[in-house]
A = this chain, B = another copy of it.
Amino acid sequence: MIKSSFLNQEFAQIKKDFISFQWPKSPEKLYEPIEYILGIGGKRIRPVLVYASSALFGEHNQTTTNFGLAVEIFHNFTLMHDDIMDDAALRRGHKTVHEKYNVNTAILSGDMALIKAYQLLQTEDEATTSEALSIFNQMAEEVCKGQQLDIDFEASTTVSISDYIQMIEWKTSVLLGASMQLGALANKTSGRNQYHLYEFGKNIGIAFQIQDDMLDTFGNQARVGKRIGGDILQNKKTYLYLKALELLPENLAKELSSWFEGNSEDEDLKIKEVTKLYEEAMVKVYAVELMNEYKSLALSHLEAVKADNDAKKEDLKEFADFLIRREY
């Protein structure tokens, strides 16, 4: 959980709602792994966006809670399955689900988590349920497309920066957009407000992912909770890599791309040398600039929202700022 001076009410409410939420006790191996991954932390960014977005237009209600749970459980479904695909051993400083249990358990419990997220979209109001389903369905398909592109890019040598942005938009950002929109829907605001909040979330999400990629290479292992340099070992064509290729003189660009042609026997050496090349190209400066562009775009959408609670809008601005300054 993030410690912050804003949205405290939302974070407290989420904590309470996750404690109250009852998972069935049987079959144990189906539900327990979901409780495990939800229990090992996570920043709860997505439900906080749902709750804060909802608070722009009225009181917190059961639908807000359910949609908040839905997006966080969906997010954890993607982690359970992505961690298998990435062969990741650690998540938030703890064993990943397939490491703690096994691959089959992570597949099936992940499926159950996805289904549980869909169950939480069901409200007493049919129109709201139908709209929520529609938002969720589009987002969920895009998240799968993003994950597929992410995998495809590892073996590709022709990824462009705009391909990369498309990939992270789908893989990460649309869920933040959908979280904002679902929160807004929970208090039945206009389609126009929903649109701007979706765009706010989506663009903050892109900035957030660029920050995430920076933390993967330049972060502090203890704070980030996973091995630093994982993206480099997996030959991930992040913005850092693509921009460095563009900026470096030909001989160094060749050196960089040759590091990404296969797996290195000496993993630490690969991480060290690639990081050095990133530093040589000063890609961090460009990454921060790009993040700020997406942040500005996000804030202009937030500005366009006609909210009932303007103080909450300020909180969301601060939260957006926090998300791209975080160190974990």
User: Chain A: residues with CB nearer than 8 A to chain B?
Assistant: 27, 29-30, 81, 84-85, 103-104, 107-108, 110-112, 114-116, 118-119, 121-122, 126-127, 129-130, 133-134, 136-137, 140-141, 144-145, 147-149, 151-152
Given A84-B103, A112-B141, A118-B137, 12 extra CB contacts under 8 A: A27-B149, A29-B151, A85-B104, A104-B151, A114-B114, A115-B144, A116-B141, A122-B130, A126-B126, A126-B127, A126-B129, A130-B130
Residues on B with C-beta less than 8 A from A130 are 122, 126, 129-130
* Contacting pair A84 B104 (CB below 8 A): yes
Please name 24 pairs of A and B residues whose Cβ atoms are closer than 8 Å in the assembled complex, sorted by A. A27-B148, A27-B149, A27-B152, A30-B145, A30-B148, A84-B103, A103-B103, A104-B151, A107-B107, A108-B148, A110-B111, A111-B111, A111-B114, A111-B144, A112-B141, A112-B144, A114-B114, A115-B137, A118-B133, A126-B126, A126-B130, A129-B130, A129-B133, A133-B133
Q: How far is the CA of A134 from the CA of B120 in the complex (A)?
A: 10
Q: How far is the CA of A121 from the CA of B119 in the complex (A)?
A: 13
* Contacting pair B147 A108 (CB below 8 A): yes
Q: How far is the CA of A116 from the CA of B315 in the complex (A)?
A: 36
* Contacting pair A122 B144 (CB below 8 A): no
Residues on B with C-beta less than 8 A from A140 are 115, 118
Q: How far is the CA of A122 from the CA of B116 in the complex (A)?
A: 18
Nearest chain B CB to A82 CB, angstrom units: 9
A127: nearest chain-B partner, CB-CB: B126
* Contacting pair A122 B133 (CB below 8 A): yes
Residues on B with C-beta less than 8 A from A145 are 27, 30
Residues on B with C-beta less than 8 A from A122 are 130, 133-134, 137
Residues on B with C-beta less than 8 A from A104 are 84-85, 151
Which of A30, A111, A134 lies at the interface centre, i.e. has the most chain B CB atoms within 10 A of its CB? Answer: A111
Q: How far is the CA of A121 from the CA of B130 in the complex (A)?
A: 10
* Contacting pair B119 A29 (CB below 8 A): no
Nearest chain B CB to A7 CB, angstrom units: 30
Task: Kindly identify which residue among B107, B114, B148 contacts A29, using a CB–CB cutoff of 8 Å.
Answer: B148
Residues on B with C-beta less than 8 A from A111 are 81, 110-111, 114, 144
Contacts known (A126-B127, A129-B130, A137-B122); A108 close to B144, Cβ less than 8 A: yes
Nearest chain B CB to A249 CB, angstrom units: 33
* Contacting pair A144 B30 (CB below 8 A): yes
Task: Kindly identify which residue among B103, B141, B149 contacts A119, using a CB–CB cutoff of 8 Å.
Answer: B141
